[in-house]
Structure 1
């Protein structure tokens, strides 16, 4: 089971992650939504599409844009559409 943690809190946990370019993408129903805040940040990947971001807040500490997802992917990345991945100090263990 893959698990994403930050500041001692489990942000996501799932047996159904998809690994792309070394990142575990978690199904959206596997994240603990109470720690996630929508962000205005967007980036573009040439083969995946436009990514949206979440900031993560745990006990008043905010990790800006620490999670990203592709709400609508290009054809080659359909397996991660809507799935959430992490960076910026979020620890992901498989």
Structure 2
């Protein structure tokens, strides 16, 4: 699977985890040079604290485009070390 934004592949892996229609990529497969830290945080009652990154590609920024659970709850432990993308990022095989 590939995550593509602004004409650039920002993540690529054969090891995505599909959860509620969203592909979670291994963090190591996401291009670190395309990530900018975001201060946004949210809480999910089933998964735990969610943190975000902005995507930065070709001089453009897509705010809070990448999310992850640094310490997911036990029931969502498979999400640890994985990142997902908002709908503006195209996911394709």
- Compute the TM-score of the two structures, normalised by the length of structure 1: 0.95
Matched residue, 1:8: 7
The CA RMSD over aligned residues, in Å, is 0.8
Unaligned runs of 5+ in 1: none
Matched residue, 2:50: 51
CA distance in 2, matches of 1:75, 1:88: 26
CA distance in 1, matches of 2:72, 2:81: 8
- Using the TM superposition, give the Cα deviation of residue 82 of structure 1 relative to its aligned residue in structure 2, in angstroms: 2.0
CA distance in 2, matches of 1:27, 1:21: 17
Unaligned runs of 5+ in 2: none
Matched residue, 1:89: 88
- Compute the TM-score of the two structures, normalised by the length of structure 2: 0.96
Which stretches of structure 1, 4 residues or longer, exceed 6 Å deviation after superposition?
Answer: none
Map residues 7-46 of structure 1 onto 2, 5 A cutoff: 7-46=6-45
- Using the TM superposition, give the Cα deviation of residue 88 of structure 1 relative to its aligned residue in structure 2, in angstroms: 4.3
